[in-house]
Amino acid sequence: MFFYGSNDKKFKKIFDMYEHSIMINKKFNPKSIAMKIATIYLLVGCLWITFSDRFVHIVVKDASSVTLIQTFKGWFYVIATSIMLYMIIYRVMKEKEWKEKKLLESYEQIEFTYEELIAAEEDLEQQVTELQKSQKALKESEERFRLAMEGASDGIWDWDIINNKLLFTRMKDLLGFEEDEIGNSIEAWKSLIYPEDLQRTNEELEKHLKDQVPYYENQYRMRTKDGSYKWILSRGKAIFNKNKKPIRMAGSHEDITHYKIAEENIYRLAYYDSLTGLPNRTFFEEKLAEALNEGKKNDYKVAVLYMDLDNFKNVNDTLGHMYGDELLKDVAKLLKKVLPPLGVITRLGGDEFGIWLPKIVYKEDIICVVESIIASFQKPWILGDREFYITATIGISVYPEQGKDIHEMIKNADTAMYSAKENGKNNYKFYTPEMNKQLLEKLEMKNNLRYAMKRNEFLLYYQPQIDMNTKKVIGLEALLRWNHPIRGFISPYEFIPIAEESDLIIPIGEWVLKSACEQNRKWIDLGYPPLKIAVNLSARQFQQQDLVLTIRDILDKTKINPELLELEITESLAMKDLNFTIEILKKLKKLGLRISLDDFGTGYSSLNYLKVLPIDTLKIDKTFVDDIAESKREKSIAKAVIDLAHSMNLMVTAEGVETEDQFFILKKLQCDKAQGYFFSKPLPKEKLEKLLKEGYAQ
């Protein structure tokens, strides 16, 4: 066993204490002590016997007194020797006790020191073990570092700042250069950095060399031998002398091109629309916020344009989503061409586009851009072999007058766009505060409509259709009415367009069909003569995939003869997609229903489509009937329509007949049926039953 350092002193201390304890044991020898006591006692006794009697005989002359003194002398000897022996033995025992105590303390000290020595020895062994492990770990670490250096894709660089020598590994290979094609200096290295990244690189490097940041880290592009660029992540740390001057710097280079590509892809997914390639809503809001802040600092205006394609849903519904997507791409390309250089165009979603124009000085500048956008849509769009027209409506808000932040600006531009749509689409409007009031009223109307069916607030009125020759009631038109619990009766012209926009028209229209058929069934069961009931189909209803099945189901449940149900469609609905319209109408005709073309003359009025539509009745619009008694032109138009319809074996119904003159003129023109206030206004079922009992209208 070997001891080092402080352990030598501990070992010497133990050895000294061990010798001391041996000396104590040697000093305390029982045989020696007993021999000493016996010798002392024998010596004292001999001296006493020898000299005490002589002393007595010299001093005392009387023999009797000598005897008495001899007796006292003996007792004195016994007592004196006893005391002496007691004192000797007591002293010896006390000395023995002290020495035993010292010996015990020495043993305890030896034991404690021995334990320390054992612990020190164990600590030493552990230190030796740790040292061996450290040496092994160091060797493994050196081996791993060597392997890592050989296998790593990163480059290591070392810059001797004093001598301006730059050494690096692998980076020349990574960039495609031979060893001697790039100089080993910082200037040679910087010459490969992308020009736009060089200034930032110099700034970051300078910050670290001035000890402003603890580490150097930077990303930049470097030119490869073939002229392309790779993204490099450079890290490093400098060594400073006592004067705080950098003398050496080392670090690593990592090729992060694949990370950058992935990062750019993620950025595009987050900020760009995958279909059109335009920036998306997130980009729009973030960049618009920056534009508003800049406008606030520099005191200039920013215009936000909220654009929506008119009737885009019809393109998807009739032509398919593939055509709709192609149209959106074409619109994106068109807007890029039309917008001024400073304008930013984004796709917000669906067929909605967001545009903002920074640094606006005059309102006329905005109008010029908006009108050029709307004008660019005034051309036919060709997708595949199909040609059609589509227009755009734009709402405008201007910072700071019509909004202080992005949310207010977008909301107000959106409100202005919807207001423009309500005024006929294919136009634009600047936001005004009154629009919010209208929008709130519209939202309130939508909410009330949602609850109207649940609360049974809808009811049907019926307007009689009269045979022009007999003036007998031969049919009815079912008309929807809404009796609001607070506002009372609300005009259909007010709530039907809102129901159309919100798709509530679908369940409402189904309720109208079902209620009309159920009521007709009740009248038939009560003995009234069977009457045809005409029900209007909205554009949204007509586009339902299950429209035919829904109507068939209603007819089956109410047990109504299909010939007693007449469905009215408008010219504009029929012409949205003529082929689709013909297909649906043929399916409805197969059920046995009758089809009426409403509002004839207000739409396309094309004889070409009229001859291919499978219809039974033409309804002359009220606008042609109003002036038929005063205007020869209106009378001629009515006659032409009636003659045309009869030549095609179609019945003709005139709407809005309000005077006797109108009635007689239409009768003379051989119109088949008529309806209007001249005969009867729309009636609830109770009042209509009274009229039915009479069999005609007054």
Is a pLDDT exceeding 80 seen at residue 7? no
Share of the chain above pLDDT 90, in %: 37
Is a pLDDT exceeding 70 seen at residue 2? no
Average pLDDT of the chain?
A: 84
pLDDT at residue 460, rounded to an integer: 96
In this structure, what are the phi and psi dihedrals at residue 671, rounded to the nearest 5 degrees? -65, 140
Which residues of 470-547 form beta strands (DSSP E)? 473-484, 488-490, 532-536
Give the residue carrying structure tokens 């009108």. Answer: 371
| Residue range 35-51: mean pLDDT, rounded | 73
pLDDT at residue 631, rounded to an integer: 87
Per-residue confidence at 126, pLDDT binned at 50, 70, 90?
confident
Q: pLDDT (tens digit, 9 = 90+) per residue, 460-469? A: 999 999 999 9
Separation CA 388–CA 390 (nearest Å): 7
pLDDT at residue 608, rounded to an integer: 65
Instruction: Return the bridge partners of 481, or none.
Output: 459
| Residue range 45-73: mean pLDDT, rounded | 69
pLDDT at residue 198, rounded to an integer: 93
Would you call 680 exposed, middle or buried from its count of C-beta atoms within 10 A (0-12, 13-18, 19+)? buried
pLDDT at residue 450, rounded to an integer: 87
Would you call 172 exposed, middle or buried from its count of C-beta atoms within 10 A (0-12, 13-18, 19+)? middle
| Residue range 421-432: mean pLDDT, rounded | 87
Give the residue carrying structure tokens 């949205």. Answer: 576
pLDDT at residue 121, rounded to an integer: 80
Separation CA 272–CA 278 (nearest Å): 6
| Residue range 367-378: mean pLDDT, rounded | 91
Per-residue confidence at 658, pLDDT binned at 50, 70, 90?
very high
Per-residue confidence at 8, pLDDT binned at 50, 70, 90?
low
The region of weakest confidence among 60-69, 226-235, 293-302, 353-362 is: 60-69
Separation CA 257–CA 255 (nearest Å): 6
Q: pLDDT (tens digit, 9 = 90+) per residue, 193-215? A: 999 999 999 999 999 999 999 99
pLDDT at residue 5, rounded to an integer: 46
| Residue range 264-269: mean pLDDT, rounded | 84
14 against 124, higher pLDDT:
124
Q: pLDDT (tens digit, 9 = 90+) per residue, 625-641? A: 988 988 888 899 889 88
Q: pLDDT (tens digit, 9 = 90+) per residue, 169-190? A: 777 888 888 888 888 888 888 9
Separation CA 391–CA 380 (nearest Å): 10
Question: Which tokens hold the place of 344?
Answer: 């930013």
Give, in order, the Cα–Cα distances in Å from 184 to each of 77, 155, 172.
116, 14, 11
566 against 503, higher pLDDT:
566
Pairing of strands 428-430, 651-654: unpaired
DSSP 386: E
| Residue range 372-397: mean pLDDT, rounded | 85
Is a pLDDT exceeding 60 seen at residue 6? no
pLDDT at residue 15, rounded to an integer: 53
The region of weakest confidence among 324-338, 434-448, 508-522 is: 434-448
Whether the Cβ atoms of residue 11 and residue 117 lie closer than 8 Å to each other: yes
pLDDT at residue 606, rounded to an integer: 56
Q: pLDDT (tens digit, 9 = 90+) per residue, 78-120? A: 787 778 777 877 777 787 778 778 778 777 787 787 788 888 7
pLDDT at residue 300, rounded to an integer: 86
pLDDT at residue 520, rounded to an integer: 95
| Residue range 296-306: mean pLDDT, rounded | 90
pLDDT at residue 698, rounded to an integer: 37
| Residue range 32-47: mean pLDDT, rounded | 73
Separation CA 442–CA 227 (nearest Å): 61
pLDDT at residue 474, rounded to an integer: 92
pLDDT at residue 21, rounded to an integer: 52
Share of the chain above pLDDT 70, in %: 87
Is a pLDDT exceeding 90 seen at residue 682? yes
Q: pLDDT (tens digit, 9 = 90+) per residue, 600-620? A: 766 555 566 777 889 999 998
pLDDT at residue 148, rounded to an integer: 52
pLDDT at residue 296, rounded to an integer: 87
21 against 213, higher pLDDT:
213
pLDDT at residue 605, rounded to an integer: 52
